[in-house]
Amino acid sequence: MSVDLDLERLLALRQDINREVPGVKISVNDLLVKACALALVAVPDVNIQFDEAAQSIRRFTDADISVAVALPAGLITPIVRSANRNRLATYRTKFTRW
């Protein structure tokens, strides 16, 4: 499956944020993480996990997002806890500290 997206507005938003907030460089990836987190919270029936042992569905109020980061030593997947509550600048810090 593939989807074509028009990212002009997203790229314009990114440019505006980076111009207005000194010392912070938000990436497209940062914006996508935030959008995914907000979408999970907005549609709570998707923000769930099936607990096989208990045969029940666990619902979450926050969205934890895992992001693949390629390093010279290999791939890591840090988890951004409560990504729906974090500021965009927080993602940049979490993704660049490795």
Could you give all domains of the chain from N- to C-terminal order, each with its CATH number? 8-96 (3.30.559.10)
Written as one string, the DSSP assignment of the chain is -------HHHHHHHHHHHHHSTT----HHHHHHHHHHHHHHHSTTTSEEEETTTTEEEE-SS--EE--EEETTEEE--EETTTTTS-HHHHHHHHH--
5-63: pLDDT as tens digits: 999 999 999 999 999 988 888 999 999 999 999 999 999 999 999 999 999 999 999 99
> Residue 48 has what pLDDT?
97
Banded pLDDT at 69 (limits 50, 70, 90): confident
